[in-house]
Amino acid sequence: MRRETFEKPLREVPAGAFFMLMRSYAKVVVGVPVEKAFYYALPEEMTGEVIPGVRVVVPFSGRKLTGYVVGLSREKPDVSLREIAEIVDSSPIFDGEMLKLTRWVSDYYCCPWGEALHAAFPPGVRMKKKKSFSPEELSSPPAESLSSSVTLLHHANRGGGKIEFYLQAIKQALKQGRQALVLFPEVSHFQNILNLLRFQFREKIAILHGRLLPWERYHEWLRMRSGAARVVIGTRSAVFAPLVNLGLIIVDEESNPLYKEKRTPAYHAREVALERARLWKVPLILGAQAPSLESYFQAERGKYKLMVLSPAGEKKELPEIEIADLRREFSSRRVRWALSLELRQEIEACLRRGEQTVLFISRRGAGTQKLIDEVGRLFPNARLGKAGTAYEEGTRAQRHKGTKYEETISLFRRGKIDILIGTQAVLKELGGERLSLVGIISADTILNIGNFRAAEKMFQLLTQVSNSLLGKQNGKVIIQTYNPAHYSILNVGDYPQFYREEVEFRRQLNYPPFTSLINIMIKDEEAFRRLIAILEANRDEGVEILPSKAGMRGQQIIIKGENLAGMRRVIRGELSSSRWNKAGVKVDVDPVEQ
């Protein structure tokens, strides 16, 4: 294996640390589901080269694995040790702060440290390709800026100048000689600010997300690490970006569930950003049109600073919101249409005015095609489109084969589609001069999902839809529901009132933010019973353990309590045993979905 060489280490070894470099035993973690670290002896020729943060190749269970050095020791452990086979890096790929951050991820999200380090090291960077960049020195910031570790919750009421606020904060960080990290839930969300930043800062911008090719990730990672990139924009995994002089973190739309990783470690990028801001002592901005209940709760308690901004200039009015009561609608006629009378009439009016309509369905499935067929029968002259496929222009709603999602959206934006049907992905594309109507086909499929966050999801959806139609002369949102009096629907545009009602609901049921949750999925039934017994035997006072069936996914254990630190330690310690390797155990701390 060829050793990768980086032109500039993340952090120079401090003076006086020579004795550390002479230690003979390395503490190594590997990227496998094993909790503990392993000690390895250093061959004489490696003395002084193996330091914390570098990767090494080590013998492990009859094979050779790449591991991460997380510590050194002068004292020989009381076990037989094997030697490190090879050093991969000539300088650390993780500095001390990043080792602390990944250790926190490991502890909090109940996963092996090696897997947390693996998640923080992008796949493209694992290429065995040597590439160098001239490092750009960053000026030292004023001492007082290093201690400005404030968390600001930016509630962008009705759009509220969010991008402008971000740009001002980024410019301030750059003036201090620092770097800025900006996270967005999806690639499509940051195109607007990316264009603005590229216009102002040109080559000083770096991006990091899952759509990049491996060599592109490698290129951007090195630019961040060398200091050549001053502003990093990315999605969830960019929270681990190797910035040498971090001065600001921004998490846009912090309530978006896409910030939650589904694979191990199942971290939430917002929570990792909070911990990183604390460790690096830098300010953190959490932005949202409809903040998460947890973040607003922290702001109400004074732990975060709350800033509510409305759009500058003339105040834009919310669109008209009309509720179609499906109870009354379906009791008055025998044939049940997916579209209520109010929605059908409004679509007809839009078509006469030459305006566009978006029909939102909460999930894909057989119901999608049924809705498309119904809309085609009701409006035979309309040009229809579905997220992922499109329909040809003409008098008949005929399918246009092979048209991809991006092409469908392009057709809609160019006015070639009159009625667009889609799921959550379509909502971020809302906009354009001709769009004037959004129909929520069934709000109840969201409200009845069996998740305590259902009302919050509904409110966030309606807020996003309403903001997309701000200031439209004929803008209207029609919500079809069997529950027209639900507070998540009635309080659209009034987040404080929604928060008051929702937080009281959470208080009564003892759900977050008043408690924390851990969700454990396990496939093997015998292992499930064994784990239940272990958790019950070590259960802290005030902690509930709720076992249940999870259908095809196996068995489920929900742990609920105000402080679950003790239970996390039990889970980490128990699951480090190899006897659980084949049980199919998946741990999700602070689950977004249940």
The tens digit of pLDDT for each residue in 47-68 reads 888 999 999 999 998 899 999 9
Largest CA distance in the chain: 87
**Any long-range contacts for 57-65 (C-beta under 8 Å, 24+ apart)?**
57/1, 57/84, 57/85, 57/86, 57/87, 57/88, 58/28, 58/30, 58/82, 58/84, 58/85, 59/85, 60/30, 60/32, 65/30, 65/31, 65/32
| Range ranked top by mean pLDDT from 81-85, 394-398, 574-578 | 81-85
Residue 315 pLDDT level (bands cut at 50, 70, 90): low
Q: Are 567 and 535 in contact (CB under 8 A)?
A: yes
Q: Are 483 and 445 in contact (CB under 8 A)?
A: no
CA distance 265 to 321: 41
- Domain spanning 516-589, CATH architecture: 2-Layer Sandwich (3.30)
Whole-angstrom CA distances from 318 to 172, 180, 321, 346, 556 are: 33, 33, 8, 18, 42
* Least confident piece of the model among 61-65, 214-218, 579-583: 579-583
Q: What is the pLDDT of residue 128?
A: 45
List the structure tokens of 98.
Answer: 């990043």
Residue 322 φ then ψ, to 5°: -115, 135
Residue 556's DSSP bridge partners are 521, 548
Phi-psi map region of 98: left, alpha, beta (phi>0 left; psi -120 to 50 alpha): alpha
List the structure tokens of 75.
Answer: 């004292």
Mean pLDDT of 111-125: 83
Q: What is the pLDDT of residue 20?
A: 46
Q: What is the pLDDT of residue 311?
A: 63
Q: CB neighbours of 263 closer than 8 A, spacing ≥ 6?
A: none
| Every domain of the chain and the residues it spans | 18-121, 144-309, 320-508, 516-589
Domain 18-121: assigned CATH number: 3.40.1440.60
Q: What is the pLDDT of residue 129?
A: 39
CA distance 290 to 312: 19
DSSP 340: -
The tens digit of pLDDT for each residue in 459-476 reads 999 998 888 887 778 889
List the structure tokens of 50.
Answer: 């193996």
Residue 127 pLDDT level (bands cut at 50, 70, 90): very low
Percent of the chain with pLDDT over 90: 52
Amino acid occupying residue 343:
L
Whole-angstrom CA distances from 58 to 29, 46, 114, 407 are: 10, 13, 13, 49
Cβ count within 10 A of residue 519: 21
Residue 545 pLDDT level (bands cut at 50, 70, 90): very high
Q: What is the mean pLDDT of the chain?
A: 83
CA distance 233 to 182: 5
Instruction: Provide DSSP, 436-479.
Output: EEEEES-THHHHTSS-TTHHHHHHHHHHHHHHHTTT-TT-EEEE
- Domain spanning 144-309, CATH architecture: 3-Layer(aba) Sandwich (3.40)
Whole-angstrom CA distances from 541 to 410, 536, 556, 567 are: 56, 11, 21, 11
Report the top-level CATH class of 320-508: alpha beta
- Name the percent of the chain in helix, strand, coil, to the closest 5: 40, 20, 40
Q: Exposed, middle or buried by CB within 10 Å (0-12, 13-18, 19+), for 51?
A: buried
CA–chain centroid gap for 590, Å, is 13
The tens digit of pLDDT for each residue in 232-279 reads 999 999 999 999 899 999 999 999 999 999 998 999 999 999 999 999
Mean pLDDT of 378-404: 60
Fold agreement between 320-508 and 516-589: no
The tens digit of pLDDT for each residue in 338-388 reads 899 999 999 999 999 999 999 998 765 556 788 888 999 999 999 998 875
CA distance 182 to 439: 32
* Least confident piece of the model among 71-80, 110-119, 128-137, 560-569: 128-137
